[in-house]
Amino acid sequence: MSSSDALTTFDRATHLTTLHQAWDHVLDRASAPGIDRLSVQDFAANAAQRLERLAAALRKLHWRPRPARRVVLPDDPDRPIAVPTVRDRIVQRALALALGARYEPTLDAAAHAYRPGRGVHTALRAVER
């Protein structure tokens, strides 16, 4: 990957439009708050301004991920889960969107894992053919 490709991917990941798309995804899947105790609903109360500040922090390389909050589910105490902060979930999704846009066109048609519109069922159908 050339440095211009990396810059383009970074620009896409930190662009306010991408962060809004990522926020929409996080909002649709509202879950428990992270270590900062900020819920998705709390973030939503001032989302536009928070996303602008997040974009600026990312572009200035000032953003740092927070530790995930460890949660033990009552029905499976042997398998704790890690809950990232809302901001970190947004950044993770923005990176996935930017990297997906960059690499999805280069993936082989036989690749099904972790791709939009593809998965185990499409892989099984391909094998059956």
Contact 33, 39 (CB under 8 A): yes
Task: Report whether 105 contacts 97 (CB < 8 A).
Answer: no
With tokens 């999805």, the residue in question is 104
Q: In a 3-state reduction of DSSP, which class is residue 26?
A: helix
- Quote the pTM value: 0.84
For 103-126, the pLDDT digits (tens) are 888 988 888 888 888 888 888 888
Encoded amino acid at 15, one letter: H
Per-residue pLDDT reduced to its tens digit, 7-19? 689 999 999 999 9
DSSP element (H, E) containing 62 = none
